Amino acid sequence: QVQLVESGGGVVQPGRSLRLSCVASGFTFSGYSMHWVRQAPGKGLEWVAVISSNGGLQYYADSVKGRFTISRDNSKNTLYLQMNSLRAEDTAVYFCAREMSMVRGYLDYWGHGTLVTVSS
Amino acid sequence: DIVMTQTPLSLPVTPGEPASISCRSSQSLLDSDDGNTYLDWYLQKPGQSPQLLIYSLSYRASGVPDRFSGSGSGTEFTLKISRVEAEDVGVYYCMQRIAGWTFGQGTKVEIK
């Protein structure tokens, strides 16, 4: 069955960096675009970034553009989110999600999330 | 950017009774080229990650009970639950994907 397992969250000081990982299993990872979506404590969902199946295209929310980088290693079935210059407002649970294989597909599977806390 | 607005933000429900949630987009989610409406519904149950309920306006995801239905057109959309069950509690989100990806604020459904 499809599984997405995030890791790499933790407590980090403002201005520092953190890299999240999402290991995929149960499907052909290289055939799907992948997303990161976050949820601040007690708040709603916010889309963060997407990467195409071969890694050639990436798009970002304005709130993270220039600070976050989404990437993937299809040989390791792993999605990444490199987060630099972290701010308090980046504190959130970060979910990875699979995009159904179609043009502008829906997000059909989600991981359990990993918590990032930005605090001094 | 497309803004998604859900109403109500809180919805107390009675088991066995119907319920509905509205979602409005600031631009049409209908792609006139392919005829698809790029609007989905997700449910985040307490302590869980979001799960897909409805995609492309009205298609139920695999395993979703038929008491859930999606409808609407253009910029106005509705998620309906024909008979609410206790397991339906959680926060419901609409999401557009015709231009980027944007979620509504969420509607918290709880049992009265």
- Give me the pLDDT at residue A52, please: 95
- Give me the pLDDT at residue B32, please: 93
Q: What residues of chain B lie within 8 A of the CB of A62, using their CB?
A: 1
Digit-coded pLDDT (tens) for B46-70: 999 999 999 999 999 999 999 999 9
A&B contacts, CB < 8 Å: 51
Query: What secondary structure letter does DSSP report for A85?
Result: S
* Strand bridging mode A114-118 / B4-7: unpaired
Contact A83, A67 (CB under 8 A): yes
- Give me the pLDDT at residue B6, please: 98
Q: How far apart are CA A76 and CA A107, in angstroms?
A: 21
**What is the Cα gyration radius of chain B?**
13
Q: What residues of chain A lie within 8 A of the CB of B1, using their CB?
A: 62
Which residue type, as a one-letter code, is found at position B41? W
Q: Is A110 in Cβ contact with B98 (below 8 Å)?
A: no
Residues in a beta bridge with A36: A49, A96
Is the pLDDT at A103 greater than 80? The verdict is no
* Strand bridging mode B76-81 / B59-60: unpaired
B88 touches chain A (CB under 8 A): no
What average pLDDT is seen over chain B? 97
Q: Which of A84, A55, A97, A48 is nearest to A72 (CA)?
A: A55
Q: Is B93 in Cβ contact with A45 (below 8 Å)?
A: yes
Q: Is B100 in Cβ contact with A104 (below 8 Å)?
A: no
Digit-coded pLDDT (tens) for A70-102: 999 999 999 999 999 999 999 999 999 999 977
Q: How far apart are CA A35 and CA B88, in angstroms?
A: 26
- Counts for chain B of helices (H) and strands (E), in that order: 0, 11
The shortest C-alpha distance from B17 to chain A (Å) reads 26
Asked if the bond preceding B18 is cis, omega within 30° of 0, the reply is no
Q: How far apart are CA A79 and CA B43, in angstroms?
A: 24
Q: Which of B101, B34, B54 is nearest to A97 (CA)?
A: B101
Instruction: Give the pLDDT mean for B74-88.
Output: 97
Q: How far does Cα B39 stand from its chain's mean position? A: 8
Q: Is B55 in Cβ contact with A44 (below 8 Å)?
A: no
Contact A34, A50 (CB under 8 A): yes
What average pLDDT is seen over chain A? 97
Burial classification of residue A72, based on how many CB atoms lie within 10 Å of its CB (0-12 exposed, 13-18 middle, 19 or more buried) = buried
Digit-coded pLDDT (tens) for B4-42: 999 999 999 999 999 999 999 999 999 999 999 999 999
Residue percentage of chain A with pLDDT more than 90: 96
Greater confidence (A79 vs A105) lies with A79
Is the pLDDT at A104 greater than 90? The verdict is no
Q: How far apart are CA A27 and CA B97, in angstroms?
A: 23
Residue of A nearest to B98 (CA): A104
